[in-house]
Structure 1
Amino acid sequence: MLPEDSEKGRTLSARDHLLVVIDPVARRTDGESVRIAKDVLGAGASIRTCLPEGPEDFTKALARRGTRRLVVIGDDRTLLRAVGVLHRERGLGGAALSLVPVGASQSLARVFGVPAGAVAAARAVLEGAERRLDLLVDESDGVVLGDLRIPPAGAVGAAARGPAGAAAGADGHAWLRTCQSFVRTLAARPSRVAAAPGPGPARLRVEADGVTLVDLDQPVADIRVTAGGGGVAEVEVRPSSVGAEAAPVRVRARTVTVSGSDFRYRADTVLTGPVRSRTWTVRPEAWGLTLPR
């Protein structure tokens, strides 16, 4: 027999049983929004709350979700972690994942159409509908929900200081911050040796569905791959040129392979590498996200 909501006198369906997993960063940075989201969800469904303290606890919580619908409260990194765990467990084909965005990084939530604000997002969890979305997956089981970017070799250092690098610094230990301070002090001192020129553009081979778009003899300024829907990815390659800017190469493909010299890439908010080769494949409608009707 299904449990009954004592306040509203209605029978709860399987859809009304939620496992709410709350990211620890969200709890620390905006506890009020977390509380509001829990209150709204609890008023409309039977909820079980999980408070993981780290990635291992997070993975265990998702594995024990049973038949409950999964709701995560956190930022883009929380959403990425949830999709990654479910992909590795081959659990993305089940019920849709729901997100209540709390935290500074919410660009993915905005792109997918998740409402801003704890109240609106929680109501969308209760009243919304599942939307199936394409997923980019690489051979090491890494996932990309939005954009994949490969910067030129000279921009890697700057990329590492972006959102992913900042997050790593925030979570670092005191000894790491001390080392970083010492390195900055040394860097600030004048050097007697002239600075070496920065590395040139990346030389990479880019293949889309087995067709070479750019080979190693053509320096690459920028590569962007997006799971655009319809089971194919939008691929844009900007070759580097002297003088006038080279025209970008744009194609749609199911599989994209990048190889050549060591390179780093940013998958959504995560900086990865260096690697020599990586292949991304589009999985059509591989995962579901609850969105407003």
Structure 2
Amino acid sequence: MATFATSDQLLVIIDPAARQRDGESVRIAKDVLSAGATTKVCLPEGPEEFARALARRGSRRPVVIGDDGALIRAVTFLHRQRELAGCVLSMVPVGGALGVAHTLGVPTGAVAAARAVLDGVERRLDLLVDDSDGVVLGALRIPPLAAVPVVAEPVPSRGWLRPYQTLVRSLSARPAPAVPRPGPSRLRVEVDGETVVDLDQPVEGIWVTPGGPGGLAEVEVRPASVGAEATPVRAAGRTVTVTGADFRYRADVGITGPVRRRTWRVVEGAWGLTVPGVP
């Protein structure tokens, strides 16, 4: 791990959502950072200005003040510019969704996080990268299939409108049909080319987490069960491929899909994040 000097020049990018949600924490973080280092503050109004600020950072170390979404946006941009390996990111968590940042070791609270930016150390972290160039910092989850959406009935032509309205009124007194709950998925899960679960085994959920021993992703598949709970299937590897009917997945805080096939690979030590040093 590398230790940083307080004389580092910082590029402080304040996400607009953080400014709106908790302006006081933003102000405190900015004051602490400005007191300990030379800072340039950027106030982007949207994703394009956010990316432009990162692209023009020069030799300054970028500091993101925002939530998990802002951190993911920064990592994704730098990855796609092929500049992630040589750029150490820092973060002061401000906003609603902060679970990913805290899991990665970023302190809770504006003051503690800002001090870690100034006096902390670089921690190298693994990354999941998929075949569409998307990234996963903390965890990937494939939940059960969503309930089938209700399809609206077509509206009849004007000449049939009155009888149709009468029919609707007569049906409205009937109890509404039960909304189906999410059901198990039928997906093939391959880890390093070996099939862990095949299409004949319905599953309730799949979890993939980078950062396992030896730069491996940890995979857990929970089979669907009747009665007694089924034992989860666990595996570890450098590539994970999921194939099957259209499925959606949650990567950190965002939901993607539907897709029929997706492969994730682990990039060991792909990026650096500033965390508190060991006392």
Give the structure-2-normalised TM-score.
0.85
For 1:1-293, list aligned pairs within 5 A: 16-154=8-146, 194-195=177-178, 197-198=180-181, 200-229=183-212, 230-293=214-277
The CA RMSD over aligned residues, in Å, is 2.0
DSSP 3-state at the match of 1:27: helix
Detail structure 1 runs of 4+ shifted over 3 Å in the superposition.
12-15, 154-157, 189-200
In structure 2, do the counterparts of structure 1 residues 238 and 63 end up closer, same or farther at CA, with 3 Å as the change threshold?
A: same
> Letter of the aligned partner of 2:13 in structure 1?
V
In structure 1, the gaps of 5 or more residues are 1-11, 158-188
Distance 2:18 2:76 in 1: 19
Residue pair 2:12, 2:42 contacting (<8 A) in 1 also? yes
Identity %: 68
Residues 234-269 of structure 1, C-alpha deviation per residue, up to 9 Å, x if partnerless? 100011122222211101110000011000000011
In structure 2, the gaps of 5 or more residues are 150-171
In structure 2, do the counterparts of structure 1 residues 46 and 226 end up closer, same or farther at CA, with 3 Å as the change threshold?
A: same
Distance 1:260 1:143 in 2: 21
Query: 1:195 Cα shift?
Result: 3.6
Residue pair 1:15, 1:69 contacting (<8 A) in 2 also? no
Query: 1:118 Cα shift?
Result: 1.0
Residue pair 2:148, 2:180 contacting (<8 A) in 1 also? no
Residue pair 1:232, 1:253 contacting (<8 A) in 2 also? yes
More helix as a share of residues: 1
Distance 2:7 2:237 in 1: 36
Query: 1:198 Cα shift?
Result: 4.3
In structure 2, do the counterparts of structure 1 residues 235 and 190 end up closer, same or farther at CA, with 3 Å as the change threshold?
A: farther
Residue pair 1:15, 1:68 contacting (<8 A) in 2 also? no
Which residue of structure 2 aligns with residue 186 of structure 1?
Answer: none
Equivalenced residue count is 251
Distance 1:78 1:99 in 2: 9
Distance 1:109 1:276 in 2: 30
Residue pair 2:210, 2:216 contacting (<8 A) in 1 also? yes
Query: 1:14 Cα shift?
Result: 9.7
> Letter of the aligned partner of 1:128 in structure 2?
G
Give the structure-1-normalised TM-score.
0.81
Bigger Rg, which one: 2
In structure 2, do the counterparts of structure 1 residues 15 and 213 end up closer, same or farther at CA, with 3 Å as the change threshold?
A: farther
DSSP 3-state at the match of 1:114: coil
Query: 1:200 Cα shift?
Result: 3.2
DSSP 3-state at the match of 1:59: helix
In structure 2, do the counterparts of structure 1 residues 156 and 124 end up closer, same or farther at CA, with 3 Å as the change threshold?
A: farther
Residue pair 1:256, 1:281 contacting (<8 A) in 2 also? yes
Residue pair 1:14, 1:67 contacting (<8 A) in 2 also? no
In structure 2, do the counterparts of structure 1 residues 40 and 84 end up closer, same or farther at CA, with 3 Å as the change threshold?
A: same
